[in-house]
Amino acid sequence: MSDSNGRRVDSGPSRLHSLADFYPDGILGATREGVVTLLNAQAASLLGVDREAAFGRPLDEVLRLLDQDGRTWLAANRPFESINIVRAVPEQSWLNPSGDEVLTTATLIRDAPRGRVAGIAVGLRSGRGRALLDRERSDLVATVAHELRSPLTGVKGFVQALLNRWDKLNDDQRKLMLTTVNADADRLARLIAELLDVARIDTGRLQLYPRETSAKVLVSRVVGSIEAGTARSITLEVEDDLPDVFADPDKLTQVVTNLVENAIRHGQGQVSVSVVASPELDGVRIIVDDEGDGIPVELRRRVFTKFWTTGESGGSGLGMYIIGGLSRAHGGWVTIADAPGGGARVMVDWPSEDVRPA
């Protein structure tokens, strides 16, 4: 179509089709008579049809989607026969002629609020994104199941041994088994607490009870507790005249504990902990160094994702995610760098005032 000067002007339907091609999902439109009047390039690709040839064809010849029972989309939903209060068809999963999953939604266009269906608009998108999400959820379930199963196996084994051989075990053996069971139970409780913290961080429902707190006291307490249970050397240096931090003491203790335990689990040699005045904000900087291989620059962002682990050191893969989430919830942040003597350096900057994000 051209104007009086000979310039081409898009007609209404042509312009509509052109705009529909910019939409990321597939769009199909049909009249009450079941004739296709709109089909963008994305929908044509998902349905495996020639776009130009599809216009004016019957809907059932173009919307060639089948369910697991071999029914077509049109036969299963019967949109033109729906009762007058129905306005849409919710998301459904179908298979196209190539066997790929296609997710559909549909809007019923009525000629009056409760009138007859004058046409339908069907939205189509590839099911690959949902398949990826399903795989991620499966990986999550498998990771959690593995982490829970390991301590449960120990608890079950030692309890069974105690029940079956109680009279044959001396007091030292019983005490050792019960101590191991207690440690595994603590590990289970810690993992469950971590999972709950992850859920609260993700949903913004993390409950904090912050107040002015001495970072020196909390860090010293954590280092002393961990040092008593490991053969690794841990050094602690604290600057004088440090300001108090504004923190939930339990959450700050959790952050420091995860930092030091990660350095012991993933690093080598001596672990060094320093508490200094933060050069970036009014507060303190907690620095944990190890003497391991360090963390490559290209992996430093991934360290803060859920269930990310590397090497053979194990762990739930939640420690750094929780460290980052709890620090941000208080208005602080975490930085990864190289330790001066090799290995990884993890720094947490924690504010002295209430600068929590809204």
User: What is the rounded distance in angstroms from the CA atom of residue 97 to the CA atom of residue 352?
Assistant: 62
* Separation of alpha carbons 339 and 186, rounded Å: 32
Q: Which run of H or E residues covers position 164?
A: helix 128-165
Tell how strand 245-247 and strand 211-213 pair up.
antiparallel
Contacts of 267 (CB under 8 A, 6+ apart): 290, 291, 292, 343, 344
How many angstroms separate the CA atoms of 321 and 350, rounded?
A: 16
Q: Write the DSSP string, 71-129.
A: -BHHHHH-GGGS-TT--EEEEEEEE-TTS-EEEEEEEEEESSTTS-EEEEEEEEEETHH
SS3 178: helix
* φ, ψ at 143 (rounded to 5°): -65, -45
Q: For each of the chain's 358 residues, which pLDDT tens digit applies?
A: 444 444 443 444 555 556 777 888 999 999 999 999 999 999 999 999 999 999 999 999 999 999 888 899 999 999 999 898 999 999 999 999 988 889 999 999 998 888 999 999 999 999 887 767 777 677 667 777 777 887 888 899 999 999 999 999 999 999 999 999 998 888 888 888 888 888 888 888 888 999 999 999 999 999 999 998 888 889 999 999 999 999 999 999 999 999 998 888 887 888 999 999 999 999 999 999 998 788 888 888 888 887 776 655 556 678 888 999 999 999 999 999 999 878 899 999 999 999 998 7
Query: Taking the model in full, what pTM does it have?
Result: 0.60
Nearest to 74 by CA among 55, 60, 84, 61: 60
Identify the CA nearest to 333 among candidates 273, 285, 282.
285
Give pLDDT, residue 310. 64
pLDDT at res. 315: 61
Sequence-separated contacts (24+) of 132-136 with Cβ below 8 Å? none
Give SS3 for 236.
strand
| C-alpha angle 310-196-301 in degrees, rounded to nearest 5 | 35
Domains and CATH numbers, the chain: 12-126 (3.30.450.20), 131-203 (1.10.287.130), 211-351 (3.30.565.10)
For residue 336, give the H/E element and its range: strand 333-338
Could you tell me the maximum CA-CA distance found in the chain, to the nearest angstrom?
106
Distance, CA of 303 to CA of 162 (rounded, Å): 41
Sign of CA dihedral 215, 217, 222, 224: positive
Give the pLDDT confidence score for residue 96 in this predicted structure: 92
Q: State the amino acid at position 341 in one-letter form.
A: G
Return d(Cα 98, Cα 113) in angstroms, integer: 38
What is the DSSP-derived secondary structure letter of residue 243? P
Cα–Cα separations (whole angstroms), residue 236 to 239, 276, 347: 10, 11, 14
Q: Are strands 333-338 and 344-351 parallel, antiparallel or unpaired?
A: antiparallel
